[in-house]
Amino acid sequence: MSDTGPTIYQIVHVDDDIDILSIAKMALEALGPFQVASFSSGSAALERISSISPDLILLDLAMPEMDGRETMRQIKEIPALTDTPTVFLTAQLSPEVKRELMDLGALEVLPKPFDPMSLHVELAKYIEA
């Protein structure tokens, strides 16, 4: 009987705010069974996401050049990532925006600012074990 240790889940986090990326990465890696690959733009994430094979994608909505909607659309065109759970983390949390993002395929839309101490619990709900 071998003990391989706890499962570590891969999260790709895309946000143009470097402080948000840093806080989320520190909190998720310290409190949850997560390893986080952080990207400050959708295009940067798209360049590397296939080699990461994430268990969950965490996206900001409002980003310059390529917003979260377009980033998610392009990620979902990658066959290996079509069914990867996607969660948005955004300050634009009106019922209309939430409904639109859910209709596009997001599993959840979480508010910014977020609680770093509970983000890992929220995201764990959407990881397929």
Is the distance from CB of 78 to CB of 54 less than 8 angstroms?
no
d(CA 64, CA 16): 8
The pLDDT tens digits for 31-84 are: 999 999 999 999 999 999 999 999 999 999 999 999 999 999 999 999 999 999
pLDDT exceeds 60 at position 2? no
* Joined tokens for residue 53: 């094979």
Angle subtended by helix axes 68-76 and 95-104, to nearest 10: 20
Burial class of 51 by CB neighbour count within 10 A (0 to 12, 13 to 18, 19+): exposed
Per-residue pLDDT of 70-109, as tens digits, reads 999 999 999 999 999 999 999 988 999 999 999 999 999 9
- Residue 117 in this model has a pLDDT that exceeds 50: yes
Whether the predicted pLDDT of 1 surpasses 60: no
User: Quick one: pLDDT at residue 129?
Assistant: 46
Helix (H, G, I), strand (E, B) or coil at 118: coil
Residue 3: the pLDDT is: 58
Q: How confident is the model at residue 128 (pLDDT cuts 50, 70, 90)?
A: low
**CATH number listed for the domain at residues 9-124:** 3.40.50.2300
Name the 3-class secondary structure at 39: strand
* Claim: this prediction has a pTM higher than 0.85: yes
Looking at residue 93, its pLDDT comes to 84
Domain ranges of the chain: 9-124
Helix, strand, or coil here: 108?
strand
